[in-house]
Amino acid sequence: MTAAAEAPEGGATRILVVDDVEDNVEILNARLSSRGYEVITAMNGPSALERVEEQPPHLILLDVMMPGMDGHEVARRIKANEALPFIPIILVTALTETEDVVQGLESGADDYISKPYNFNELEARMRAMLRVKRLQDELDLKNRELEDANIRLKKLSITDGLTELFNHRHVHELLHDEFERARRTEEPLAVAMIDLDKFKSVNDTHGHPTGDVILYETARILRETAREIDMVGRYGGEEFIVILPNTDEEEAAAFAERVRAAVEAHVYRDGPVVVRMTTSCGVAGAAGGVASSPEELLKLADEALYQAKHGGRNRVVRASESDGSGPDNPSPEAGSPRAASSASALSDAASSTVAPPDAAPSGTGSSEAPAPSAPEPPASPPE
């Protein structure tokens, strides 16, 4: 079998020969080079470590008895360096006692051959170690691919496919975690609910692809406006949610106003189609015990959003300014259907039961719930 065929990554197999006796180095260099190996050499331990750092070899032939740093210490340092790939080390020494062999293997060496040695035996041991390296390298590659796949899968499980924001399920989990953290640390926490005004008419007039462009660009505006610690999610349809740690209601309203102004100033383009949009925003803070649970905090923000819609759209309403009414429910005592659904979803996230389904993939349809079948259904909230 040729040396090139043994190379774990193709090309010539690179061998590092370490020995403080120059004649030994020259003999091994000549014999290995004639077999097609690429040979690099070092005359002492520190020099060997430098060679390994510069260009890791496929295999090391390492003398044990060297002045200063011996082969055992060189092997220990190489094996302890997690930044290096797996490099087989064959100790080459005149020491033949059992305790010497044990010490060499425990220092990290993978094999051991005594001087004087038969070159054919040495090369056979090298080929065996190179086979082990090839298998180890393949295993490492598979593990890296698996880790990358797991990272991608985790991202897909918590991300909305269209906007690349956190999805409905995950944003509920985050809100529950942040609420508990804020309660524990006594830091403020706020939530902003943001809804694109008259989005259904955009879909009806220009089609869902244009609606998708608007959703995606609105998500970009939210990401650019939010801080690094803020958590931005697509709540469903054309509605977004931003969790604002260490933020009170007044600061949340200022954030929502920046978003509102940015959306109003933005020109949405989908080929020849040009669209201008506005947003309605509701914000609520958890400071001062206003909200006793993440469900209650979300309900307050949702009711404030409802008031922004009823107040003429394109505005920000704070929960402290809201009269407590919500969609299909003008009385403050009864919660809105959407807030009730949100509360149920948050309770599910807290108890690790089945989470509510994420938003529809395209999400460009209306977010309005179907009217109930009561004899006289209440009026639907404006878009």
**Residue 159 contacts residue 167 (beta carbons within 8 Å):** yes
d(CA 373, CA 369): 12
Phi, psi of 29 (to 5 degrees): -60, -45
Give me the count of residues in the chain.
383
d(CA 51, CA 48): 5
Q: Can you tell me whether residue 108 is helix, strand or coil? A: coil
Question: Across the strands, what pairs with 317?
Answer: 282
d(CA 28, CA 17): 8
Peptide bond into 116 cis (omega under 30): yes
d(CA 29, CA 43): 13
**How many Cβ atoms sit within 10 Å of the Cβ of residue 42?**
23
d(CA 144, CA 226): 33
Tokens of 221: 């505006």
Q: Which residue in the list 217, 238, 239, 295 is annotated as catalytic?
A: 238
Tokens 């803020």 locate to 230
CA distances to 57, 90, 118, 127 from 15, in Å: 6, 11, 18, 12
Told to judge if 238 belongs to the known catalytic residues of this protein, a careful annotator would answer yes
**Residue 41 contacts residue 61 (beta carbons within 8 Å):** no
Q: What is the DSSP letter of 35?
A: T
Q: Can you tell me whether residue 164 is helix, strand or coil? A: coil
Give the residue numbers annotated as catalytic, written as ranges: 238
